[in-house]
Amino acid sequence: MTDSRRTQSGQNGSLHDRLTHSVRYLKRRTLLSALLRLLAVAAFVVMVMAFFKMPIAVKVATPLLVVVTGLLLLPRHRGYREISVATFLLHLNRKIPELEESGQLLLADRTTLPPLKQLQFDRAEAAFERAVQDHSLWVPPLKAKTPIALTLLFLMLAVALYQYDWRKTARQNMYEQTAENVLLPASITEATVTVTAPPYTNLAPSVMQDLNIKTVEASQIMWRLKFSRMDGRYMLHASDGELVPFTADTDGSFRAEMIADSTGLYRIMHSTSDGEAQVGDFYTLQVFKDRAPDIDIREPEKRVLEIPKNGDPFFRSIVEVRDDFGVAGAQILASVAKGTGEAVKFRDEVFSFDQQTTTENGYQYSKDWDLLALGMEPGDEVYFSVEAWDNKTPTPNRGKSSTVIVKWLDDVEVPVAAAGIVINLEPEYFKSQRQIIIETEQLIEDQSILDAQEFKDISYGLGQAQSDLKQRYGQYLGDEFGEGPGDQLAEAGRADTGADDDHEEGHDHGHEEAEVSAPEVGHTHEGADQATSRSGAAEMIARFGHNHGDSDVGPIAKRDPKTLMKKAVSIMWQAELHLMLAEPEKALPYEYEALKFLKLAKQADRIYVKRLGFEPPPVSEDRRLTGELDDIESFRRDEAATPENDRDEALLLAGYKLLSNPERETALLSEQTRQTLTDLKDYFLQAAQDRPALITHVATLEKLIATRSLALADCDDCVTGIQRTLWHLLKDPIAQPSVGQQYYLHGDQIISDGVSTYD
């Protein structure tokens, strides 16, 4: 029994060896197939490399590297790693039907199998022994013809290409030798630009590698460049005609220095015995001018300050001065005017400030004024402005503020009302309804840039102004209408309107509101209340209504103006409420509504008056268009047909149309087009003195003129940038006439009543 088991174990061992040997054989065939394909790839690489000039060592090592790399990577391939005894038996199950899908039994120990499986084991072993002898049953075909053919083809092509390269004519070799001896154009290999600002600016020197320079006026610029060629001379050409030579240093670099006075372009030229050539591109030099000091008079806030006769003749002036590089000093230029009429005398004086402090934005100066110390009396005036200068050397920039007028009034104006009561109906600080609307709209626009507290303060101030105006109208209409937006206003409107119509017979009294009719000449049925309202309402509205434009001629309606004014006062309550609550958006509709009723009240107060006067007799036909013109002096005024600004406008428009052409990228420049671009370049060059950023457009236009094209390959957005700038520089077209702003709605009942009168 023991010998039988040993014999069976030896048979199993021999079977396992045969399986392992078959798997190794299958792997070798896989490697051989991959090697044939790699040789074809290497031959293709050799053929491709024949097109390029490179060392022979590279041409030999590259295909070998391809083959070795492929063979090293093959064992890591998934298909190669999956070749094992188990997968080999699965492969045999598919290829050899005699195995009856029992190839995996060959991996087991026959002695451990049940009898039925032992019988199947014997059948599978016999089928395997027969299959091992015939490799065609389980070994994949090599398919070597295609890789070998491709390898031979690629090698033949490579040899042909190499032969062609070796058999070049002597003339071609001579031409290549000559081309190698030709010097290439000079180029910039290294660049360093040092900018030293004037000492008064307190700016540190800056070092940059960019040749497009931005600096302040009067800065010293030093270029230190290295070029690819050392022969010849290098020169810097500025757009204003200045030539700056480069001098060679011991380290092989070239140096040039210049003082930057104006914005412009510059380029670098290389001069040799063969001629002159430009090195690099056009470069920009943006020079920012030192601005004059900016002067802001903080106090007094108004440019006309009036001091009452009995008031204190003292006031304080506070001035804030800002400058980009510092303020050197400031003074006050004043003129005192004494007397009136032809006897007025002026005295000029210069004052210094009492205090000077430094703020975040600049310097703040203050001075306390005493009119008595100036020798002034009531009725005199003083005009003063502030002059400041910066620390620019050698000539400082000077700035001057607007003029402030200080009047010392010599009398007290007290207006007298129609009833004889001395009352000041309109103080200086009153704001009209239209002015309140304007400031409310401005407050809404500035909400995003104001802090919360400042926004509330301004809105509260507008609410106070609305309250003052409402109370003044209320004093005219009666105190009860200035105390609150009562519901009695609507009833009062209907009562007042009905009172006007009670005396007229034949009118329809069934309506809640009286019909509005157009009175004819001589119609004297107007009530006493209406006449009274016309005597005072017009003056009140004229003083507080902020009238713009001429009044319409003719009647509008017969409605009592007091009723409309009461309605306006009632609406002002709502506007005041929302302004006090810092809600200007909600107050604005009520403000417009109040203004609408004020205008309606003004129109309702008009009466028709027939024009009276001298009516000359008509001129006879034989005397028409005749007469003597001896005593009439002629008037003549000569104006230029094409002003300078019109020429600039025409140039900008022509340039915009030229650059907006959809076919500009393919179009060639004509002489007229080149002249337009040249004129446009000169325009931008002149404008760049005040706006240095425009110098980039000058550089772009120079490139367009040099390349004779309206498109640049290295900058897609450059031409578009010029087009956008031209669009902004063009004047806005004149708008078509349109209807002015209206405050009336088509569905308004009051307007409907007025329209029905004329229908």
Lowest mean pLDDT among 2-6, 194-198, 573-577: 2-6
Q: Is residue 300 one of the residues assigned to a domain?
A: no
Q: Is residue 617 one of the residues assigned to a domain?
A: no
386 touches 401 (CB < 8 A)? yes
**Would you state the pLDDT for residue 6?**
40
Q: Which of 671 and 532 is assigned the larger pLDDT?
A: 671
Q: Which of 498 and 206 is assigned the larger pLDDT?
A: 206
pLDDT tens, residue by residue, 401-411: 999 999 999 86
Lowest mean pLDDT among 312-316, 513-517, 564-568, 742-746: 513-517
Q: Which of 300 and 151 is assigned the larger pLDDT?
A: 300
**Would you state the pLDDT for residue 540?**
53
Lowest mean pLDDT among 200-214, 283-297, 736-750: 736-750
Mean pLDDT computed over 306-333: 92
Count of C-beta atoms within a 10 Å radius of residue 515: 15
* 655 shares a domain with 718: yes
Q: What percent of the chain has pLDDT over 90?
A: 26
Q: Which of 162 and 551 is assigned the larger pLDDT?
A: 162
pLDDT band with cut points at 50, 70 and 90 for residue 424: very low
**Would you state the pLDDT for residue 237?**
92
Secondary structure string (H, E, C) spanning 237-298: EECCCCEEECEECCCCCEEEEEEECCCEEEEEEEEECCEEEEEEEEEEEEEECCCCCEEEEE
Mean pLDDT computed over 389-396: 90
Q: Is residue 689 one of the residues assigned to a domain?
A: yes
> How many CA atoms lie within 13 Å of 627's alpha carbon, on the beta-carbon side?
6
Output the six-digit token pair for 587. 């107050």
**Would you state the pLDDT for residue 7?**
43
* 111 shares a domain with 23: yes
Q: Is residue 19 one of the residues assigned to a domain?
A: yes
* 209 shares a domain with 153: no
* 134 shares a domain with 12: yes
* 649: containing domain: 644-729
* 648 shares a domain with 600: no
Mean pLDDT computed over 50-76: 72
Show Cβ contacts of residue 515 under 8 Å, excluding neighbours closer than 6 positions: 501, 507, 508, 753, 756, 757
Distance CA 565, CA 543 (A): 14
Output the six-digit token pair for 747. 């569905």
Q: Which of 745 and 658 is assigned the larger pLDDT?
A: 658
* 476 shares a domain with 584: yes
**Would you state the pLDDT for residue 8?**
44
pLDDT tens, residue by residue, 568-596: 999 999 999 999 999 999 999 999 999 99
* 657 shares a domain with 555: no
pLDDT tens, residue by residue, 324-352: 888 999 999 999 998 876 678 889 999 99
Q: What percent of the chain has pLDDT over 70?
A: 61
Output the six-digit token pair for 65. 């590297």
> How many CA atoms lie within 13 Å of 213's alpha carbon, on the beta-carbon side?
32
Please report, in angstroms and rounded to a whole number, the separation of the first and last CA atoms in the chain: 137
Output the six-digit token pair for 590. 């009520």
**Would you state the pLDDT for residue 144?**
62
Output the six-digit token pair for 71. 């063979």
* 332 shares a domain with 277: no
Mean pLDDT computed over 702-707: 83
**Would you state the pLDDT for residue 471?**
87
* 257 shares a domain with 312: no
Does the N-terminal peptide bond of residue 394 adopt cis geometry, omega within 30 degrees of 0?
Answer: yes
Q: Tell the residue number behind the tokens 């048979």, with chain if given.
A: 11
* CA 305 centroid distance within chain: 41
* 93 shares a domain with 52: yes
Mean pLDDT computed over 741-752: 52
**Would you state the pLDDT for residue 650?**
86
**Would you state the pLDDT for residue 86?**
63
pLDDT tens, residue by residue, 445-484: 888 888 889 899 999 999 999 998 888 888 777 654 444 5
pLDDT band with cut points at 50, 70 and 90 for residue 702: confident
> For the whole model, what pTM was predicted?
0.44
- Find the helix or strand (DSSP H, E) in which 407 lies: strand 404-408
Looking at 544, 575, 604, which one is the last position of a domain? 604
pLDDT tens, residue by residue, 123-132: 666 666 666 6
pLDDT tens, residue by residue, 72-114: 766 666 556 566 666 666 666 666 666 666 656 566 666 667 7
Show Cβ contacts of residue 612 under 8 Å, excluding neighbours closer than 6 positions: none
* 722 shares a domain with 653: yes
Q: Is residue 263 one of the residues assigned to a domain?
A: yes
**Would you state the pLDDT for residue 498?**
42
Q: Is the pLDDT of residue 547 over 70?
A: no
Mean pLDDT computed over 477-506: 45
For 685-741, the DSSP string reads: HHHTTT-GGGHHHHHHHHHHHHHTBS--TT-SHHHHHHHHHHHHHSPPPPPPP----
**Would you state the pLDDT for residue 596?**
92
**Would you state the pLDDT for residue 691?**
85
pLDDT tens, residue by residue, 27-45: 777 777 777 777 777 777 7
Q: Is residue 419 one of the residues assigned to a domain?
A: no
CATH number of the CATH domain containing 318: 2.60.40
Looking at 572, 604, 636, which one is the last position of a domain? 604
Looking at 288, 322, 342, which one is the last position of a domain? 288
State how many domains the chain has. 5
Q: Is residue 192 one of the residues assigned to a domain?
A: yes
- Give the CA radius of gyration of the chain: 51
Q: Is the pLDDT of residue 62 over 90?
A: no
Q: Is residue 255 one of the residues assigned to a domain?
A: yes
pLDDT band with cut points at 50, 70 and 90 for residue 487: very low
Mean pLDDT computed over 187-195: 93
CATH number of the CATH domain containing 204: 2.60.40.10
pLDDT band with cut points at 50, 70 and 90 for residue 543: low
Q: Which of 718 and 204 is assigned the larger pLDDT?
A: 204
Q: Is the pLDDT of residue 158 over 90?
A: no
688 touches 263 (CB < 8 A)? yes
* 195 shares a domain with 86: no
For 85-129, the DSSP string reads: HHHHHHHHHHH-GGGTT-GGGGGS-GGGS-HHHHHHHHHHHHHHH
Output the six-digit token pair for 583. 């809600």
Average pLDDT, the chain: 74
- Helix, coil or strand: residue 34: helix
